[in-house]
Amino acid sequence: MAELIEKELVFKIVGCALAVLNELGHGLREKTYERALCIELKEQGLDFSPQTSYPVFYRGQQIDDYIPDQIIDEHRGQLLNYLRITKLPVGVILNFRRPKLEWERLVLNSGR
């Protein structure tokens, strides 16, 4: 059985999201959760760069700068594009809309 990519990191991120949801409840604006999650990530000692810019290339030429969200709601295709552009190995979809946190980890290479 293959080992999960960034298993501990994903576990910590989901734990931070649960802490935010438990304190704020569900159904608020996305930006509210993003700000609270940034605070929680910092307090848990997780290194992250909010709103990092990544260059987007087409046929070897940079055509744009891409700034992915910290919080993504229910958009697998969008997250896969984020992973392709950022070259990150794993991403987490967090959904704060319901009383119970819904989350999913995605990797470009299935099976991990």
Q: Please check whether residue 87 lies inside any domain of the structure.
A: yes
Query: At residue 38, what are phi and psi to the nearest 5 degrees?
Result: -60, -45
Q: Please check whether residue 14 lies inside any domain of the structure.
A: yes
Specify whether the CB–CB gap between 40 and 16 falls below 8 A.
yes
The domain tally of the chain equals 1
- Model confidence pLDDT, tens digit, residues 41-67: 999 998 776 667 888 889 999 999 877
**Domain coverage including residue 14:** 7-107
What is the model's pLDDT at position 74? 46
Report the pLDDT averaged over residues 5-30: 91
Q: Amino acid identity of 1?
A: M
Q: Please check whether residue 112 lies inside any domain of the structure.
A: no
Q: Please check whether residue 2 lies inside any domain of the structure.
A: no
Residue with the bigger pLDDT between 72 and 109: it is: 109
Q: Please check whether residue 95 lies inside any domain of the structure.
A: yes
Q: Please check whether residue 52 lies inside any domain of the structure.
A: yes
> What confidence tier does 32 reach under pLDDT thresholds 50, 70, 90?
very high
> What confidence tier does 14 reach under pLDDT thresholds 50, 70, 90?
very high
Mean pLDDT of the chain: 82
**CA diameter of the chain:** 46
